[in-house]
Structures are given as structure tokens and as C-alpha cells.
Structure 1
Amino acid sequence: MPQYVATRCRGFTLVELAITLVVMAILLAVLAPRLFDTSQFATRGFADRLIANLRFARELAIAQRAPVYVRLSASQVQFCLDSACTQAATGADGTTPFVMAIPDGLTLATTSNFSFDGLGATSLGSTLSVSLVGDQVVLITVEADTGYVH
């Protein structure tokens, strides 16, 4: 007949479990606000969309061999086919007029009007730096001679 030897199963003590829960609570209290704050992502996301649309406006000017006018204001960014902005440009997604509203909480610190010519260069005499201010400051640069946006 087999004999069974009684073995003692060991687990965690109450003190070890309590310390683990306290450490996890402290980590959660410190990291949760950073994980759930999406405003920095919103600022960077809008800046990336603005860069992409400025590059599209430049490519549109090159493809049409005609100027595309850009109006940067405090409330919106508008792309037009004439200097008076009576003829709106069509956006990359097919929408007309090609207008980007500035989201709440963000500010364009630089307002300017310029155009991309048929070769992709800008009408600016010097490089334009556009500051997008939100929870962080994002600098967007438009080179004068080449129209390169970065």
C-alpha cells in the first residue's frame, strides 16, 4: 500500500500581498495621469496633419503648374487657387474648400499668407517658421527657396 507523505504547500503571506498592492497603487497613481492625458498627442497629431497638408499644397502647385495660396490665421488654415481666396483648392481627401480648423486649446503663433509657385518654391523672401502652441510647442518650417516643409 502506498504511503503519502504530507507536504506543506507554501503561498504568499498577507504581508507580502499587502506590500505588492501598495507598490502597485503608488505606480498607478504616478503613471495614470500620463497615460490618460491625450492633449500632447492632439498637439502633435494636428502638427503632423498640418505638415502633410502644406506638403500636399506644394505638390498641388507643382502638379498644376500654378500657384497655391496658403492663409494661416488664428482660427484656420486655408488653401486657395487665387490670392483673394475666392477659388478654394481641393484637399487630399477630396474636400472643397481645403480648410483646416485650429482645434480648441491650440494656437498658431505665426499668422502669414504665402503661396507655392509652379516649381514648389514659396513667395516668401526668407524661411517661415510656424509655431503651434498647445501643451507643447511644435515648430514647423517652410523653406523659402525649395518650399520644403518640415
Structure 2
Amino acid sequence: MIVVLGILGAIAAPRFFDTKGFDAASFTDQLKAQIRYGQKAAIAQGRYVFVRLNGSSVALCYDAGCNSRVAPPGGANSGTASTVTNCGAAPWACEGVPNGLALSAVPSFYFDPNGQPFALADPVGSVVSTFATQTLAVSGDGATHNVTVTAVTGYVF
């Protein structure tokens, strides 16, 4: 009996204490929610909302340089260690990528007041969007978790 418990402990314990799988699923959901919130804020406020993706965080801003930040819906970001490191503790719709995970490099983009996504290179106020459907990948737990933003509608799944 003790041998069986020892074997189970050696196999199960490392998996029990490894949180990367939970972190990856949780951050993927946060990423989807953040982008959806950016689109909804653009529509509700009738203004442009920029989605900054820099590999270490996802942030929402009212300008391309992130000098004017979008407030989070709950009044504060998650406050996790990676978020404080990559975004600061300010009330800003920004979430840091958890340690041990990676976010694929994709270009930042913005939503117009109608909720349509535009490439960052498109001039603000343009009616023609060159934004192509983008797939962001969260990895680091042995699996890839995809988040897709579709062209024209900005649907996030």
C-alpha cells in the first residue's frame, strides 16, 4: 500500500502543483473578454479603441501610443504579478501574460466606432479596412489555445 501511494505521489504531485494549464485557459478567456470589451467600448462610446498586443500584455487604449487608457469594466485590472509587472497597478484595461506562457506575435489593431476592426496601419477615420482575420495563440502548457478576431465584424472566438 505504501509503495502504491509513493508511486501515485511521484506521478500525480507534479501535475497537481503545475498551474500552467489553468493559467493558459484562464488567460485565453481573459484575452477574449478584453478584446470583446474593446469592441463594445468603441461602439458604446462612439470612439476608436486600440488593442495593443506586445507579447507580454494585451491592453486597450484610446490612441495608438496608449497615452489615453481605457478603464477596465470593474474599475481595476486583475492585479496578478504578471499584470502589475507588464501593465502597472493603474486602473487600466490591461492584462499581462502569466509567467511561463507565451502570446504569439500579431500586429496591434483598433476598432472604429461601429465596432469594425482596422489594421494599425490604416488611417484613423478611414472607411476601408485592411484588417485580415487574426489568430492569437496562447501556449506554454503543452497545448495551443487560439483566439480569433474576424475581419469586418470583429467577432472574437
TM-score bracket relative to the smaller structure:
0.7 to 0.9
Cα RMSD (Å): 1.8
SS for the counterpart of 2:95 is strand
Q: Secondary structure at the match of 1:90?
A: coil
The equivalent of 1:142 in structure 2 is: 149
1:15 equivalent in structure 2: none
The sequence identity of aligned pairs, in percent, is 37
In our comparison, the structure showing a higher alpha carbon Rg is 1
The question of whether the paired residues in 2 share the 8 Å contact of 1:53 and 1:92 is answered with no
Corresponding residue number in structure 2 for 1:8: none
| Structure 2 match to 1:100 | 95
CA contact (8 A) 1:70 1:77 kept: yes
State the one-letter code of the partner of 1:88: R
SS of residue paired to 1:115: strand
Q: 1:123 offset after TM fit, Å?
A: 0.6
Question: Where do 1:27-106 residues align within 5 Å?
Answer: 27-95=8-76, 96-106=91-101
Q: Is the 8 A contact 1:106 1:133 kept in 2?
A: yes
Which ranges of structure 2 fall in alignment gaps of 5 or more residues? 77-90, 120-130
Distance 1:133 1:24 in 2: 32
Correspondence for 2:112 among 117, 133, 150: 117
8 Å CA contact 2:50, 2:64 repeated in 1? yes
Q: Secondary structure at the match of 1:79?
A: strand
Q: Which residue of 2 aligns with 1:26?
A: 7
Query: Matches of 1:93 and 1:30 in 2, distance apart?
Result: 40
Q: Shift of residue 44 of structure 1?
A: 1.4
Give yes or no for contact 1:67–1:82 (8 Å, CA) kept in 2.
Answer: yes
Kindly provide the amino acid, as one letter, of the partner of residue 148 in structure 2. T
| Corresponding letter in the other structure for 2:47 | A
Is the CA contact (8 Å cut-off) linking 1:142 and 1:148 kept in structure 2? Answer: yes
After superposition, give the CA deviation of every residue in 1:84-121 in whole Å (9 maximum; x if it has no partner). 32211111222333222222222222231101122222
Matched letter for residue 130 of structure 1: L
CA distance in structure 1 between the partners assigned to 2:3 and 2:94 by the alignment? 51
Shift of 1:45: 1.1
**Counterpart position of 1:133:** 139
**Contact 2:34–2:93 (8 Å) recurs in 1:** no
Are the equivalent residues in 2 in contact too, given 1:74–1:107 (CA < 8 A)?
Answer: yes
Offset at residue 49 of structure 1 (A): 1.0
